[in-house]
Chain A
Amino acid sequence: MTVYLVRRILQALLVVLAMSLIVFIGVYAIGDPVEILISPDADQIERERAVQALGLDLPLWQQYAVFLTKALQGDLGRSFVYNEPALKLILQRMPATLELAFGATIIALIIGLPLGLYAGLRPEGRFSRVIMAGSILGFSLPTFWVGLMLIMVFAVYLGWLPSTGRGDTGTLLGLQWSFLTWDGIRHMTMPAINLALFKISLVIRLTRAGVRETMLMDYVKFARAKGLSPARVTFVHVFKNILIPVVTVVGLELGSTIAFSVVTESVFAWPGMGKLIIDSINVLDRPVIVAYLMMIVLMFIAINLIVDLTYSMLDPRVRLESKGT
């Protein structure tokens, strides 16, 4: 187990290294941030001073070497735009995005699992057909449009929920969280539902497919032949078997929501990381982009590890051992 974990962490570090190199070169290839950052009126001397201050006068490999040395000391560089440490910028925005993503995932599971289960157990039922048709909508409606509609209905016409910002926040572990205050939760509701919509559909479809497949298995028939109650058959024998694909997909989805919930964050003016990264890309703020993507890689690796650990809990046939060489 320990060997397994150490191996996974080493792999993670390699991926992060490769990632930083690719992003570094990629951003360099896109364009010269100096053109965007410095006003066109600036003269040659001012220009050169700025270039030197940002370290952009060095050749690319030297810039990368400098970055890497500093990164090993925990310094991922300063933002060209805000002149603040990139990591600090990202961490400031992180709680907003994290709570939104987790909120959306929890909503997706709470709504998606029961509906999927129902649709799987009664595939021919009328309500099941309604669920499945609804899930197609959840899949295909564009997020930004749904977001705007939510704002129009619940914020403008009905006036029930606020449409922008995080609202009041409470402090936990030195970070600001919206879910700790009632006002914050009210602010979070709409963006979380907007993000959850696609995930609900995904969970419904996965659960339904899993249930339909599992119901045909001999062990389900055998469980019924043992005289178990239908509830026991469904919630113990079937449910535990379908959780494996659901956990995988929800884990990956959680990762991509944290990393790329740009659209929803923009629509609801939610001050999360998604907005930060888009702004940074626009002005080629390389330290922020690189630091952000490295964080995201780490996060995906962490999520995958957690998913794998969950597997071994759900399925006894999965054993987390390093393959002997």
Chain B
Amino acid sequence: MTAPTLEVRNLQTYFFTRAGVVKAVDGVSFSVGRGKVMGLVGESGSGKTVTGFSIIGLVDPPGRIAGGSILFQGRDLAKLSEEEMRDLRGNRIAMIFQDPMMTLNPVLRIDTQMIETVKAHKKVSTEEARQRARDTLGMVGIPSPDERLKAYPHQFSGGMRQRVAIAIALLHEPQLIVADEPTTALDVTIQGQILAEVQKLCATTGTSMIWITHDLSVVAGLADDIAVMYAGRIVEKGAVSEVLDKPLHPYTHGLIGSVPSRNKRGEALRQIPGMTPSLLNLPLGCAFRARCPRASEACIAEPIMAEILPGREARCIHPHLDASEAA
């Protein structure tokens, strides 16, 4: 097996606020192989977006990477200078954002925004850059790209804007794309189209992808591997089919149970009781303890990430091992 495109080891991204240190990402490790899609799943505030921004080097103060390493093709991104990092951003590593209505600058034309990206990393003429922009727009399924290049973002629909954003991410054929809930703000039909498009691109270009989302159904269809985050930590990871079929961690179990389509009609919807704990004030031991139906005295001790089944890791003392318990 070749070396993975990205290997994150014990990543710690902390925010040093006046109220105290917020450990938004606390010891996260995972890897993404070439051409693979990794789904990073969790509730709001679980640290999944901060993980994404840490990889691309855009954590804003007062946050910073406090420890760990992010190995991308053998280089540790956490140790690169801002200048070296900028050279990689948009070039070898690209990012797609959640809200397509907000990611394109409203006062600049599409061609301006695409050509500047091409020119930021390649010494080419404006004409060549425009050519590249047009080809890429065509690739992501935007009709008559020549005309559309001259348009402003507000002249596009949400789905089209997200395609433009994806096209911008693809301009330099990156090895890794960090996608932060890119389909959450879109209609289901558009969502499906974009997912299919992305899947095709990953397969043909060998681009690896981190797909950050809270939507398990998206991950189920798209990702190869999945990592579930809770309160800044990964609580379970493994191949997507296995994790979704037979979750080990009670939190994953609860997440899957909360998907409305899995409930029977007329039954009250299932939910995980309680709220995510404040990252400023995490309880001792397992962070999920207070909401967990399986919690016991033993959970006051910090559980560690352990291989519970072959190829399956989880951070839990009482994992769901019995097949009959599966959701």
Q: Which residues of B contact A224 (CB under 8 A)?
A: 58, 89
A316-B154 in contact (CB<8A): yes
Residues of A contacting B104 with CB < 8 Å?
219, 222
CB interface residues, B 142-187, toward A, < 8 Å: 152, 154, 165, 168
Q: Is A218 an interface residue (CB 8 A)?
A: yes
**Which partner residue on chain B sits nearest A215 by CB separation?**
B60
Query: Within 8 Å of chain A (Cβ to Cβ): is B76?
Result: no
**Are the CB atoms of A227 and B102 closer together than 8 Å?**
no
Q: Is A232 at the interface (CB under 8 A from chain B)? A: yes
B222 at the interface (CB under 8 A from A): no
Query: Would A227 and B168 count as touching, CB distance under 8 A?
Result: no
Count of B residues near A, CB < 8 Å?
A: 29
Q: Which of A222, A236, A237 has the most CB of B within 10 A?
A: A222
Contact B154 A226 (CB under 8 A): no
Interchain CB contact (< 8 A) of B97 among A218, A236, A241:
A218
A323 interface hit (Cβ, 8 Å)? no
Which residues of chain B are near A225, meaning CB under 8 Å? 56, 58, 89-90, 94-95, 97
In the complex, B263 has a CB within 8 A of chain A: no
Residue B276 at the chain A interface, CB threshold 8 Å: no
Taking a contact as CB atoms closer than 8 A, the residue among B88, B89, B105, B116 that contacts A219 in the complex is B105
What is the 8 Å Cβ interface bit string for chain A, positions 77-102, against chain B (1 contact, 0 not)?
00000000000000000000000000
CA distance A229 to B104 in the complex (A): 17
Question: Which single residue of chain A is at the shortest CB-CB distance from B168?
Answer: A226
A227's contact among B86, B97, B103, B107, by CB below 8 Å, is which?
B86
**Which residues of B have CB within 8 Å of A126?**
none
Interface residues of A: mostly helix, strand, loop or mixed? helix
A-B contact count (CB 8 A): 75
Q: A225-B58, A228-B116 are in contact. Are A317 and B103 (CB under 8 A)?
A: no
A9 in the interface, Cβ–Cβ < 8 Å?
A: no
Q: Is A240 an interface residue (CB 8 A)?
A: yes
Q: A221-B58, A241-B105 are in contact. Are A317 and B152 (CB under 8 A)?
A: yes
**Given A222-B103, A225-B89, A227-B87, do A237 and B165 touch, yes or no (CB 8 Å)?**
no
CB-defined contacts of A241 to chain B, threshold 8 Å: 105-107
Inter-chain contacts of B91 with A (CB < 8 A): 227
Q: Would you call A223 an interface residue if the criterion is a C-beta within 8 Å of the partner chain's C-beta atoms? A: yes
Which of B90, B98, B99, B108 interacts with A226 by CB under 8 Å? B90
A217 in the interface (beta carbon within 8 A):
yes
Find out whether the CB atom of A226 lies under 8 angstroms from the CB atom of B107: no
Query: Does A263 interact with chain B (Cβ within 8 Å)?
Result: no
Contact status B90-A218, CB under 8 Å: no
Known: A219-B105, A241-B107, A316-B107. A228 touches B90 (CB 8 A): yes
Docked-complex contact A315 and B107, CB < 8 angstroms: yes
List A residues 181-229 near B (Cβ within 8 Å): 217-219, 221-229
A314 within 8 A of B: yes
Please report B residues at the A interface, Cβ cutoff 8 Å.
56, 58, 86-91, 94-95, 97-99, 102-109, 116-117, 120-121, 152, 154, 165, 168
**Inter-chain pairs besides A219-B106, A237-B108, A316-B109, 13 sampled, C-beta below 8 Å:** A218-B98, A219-B104, A221-B97, A225-B89, A225-B95, A226-B94, A227-B86, A227-B87, A227-B120, A228-B86, A240-B105, A241-B107, A316-B107
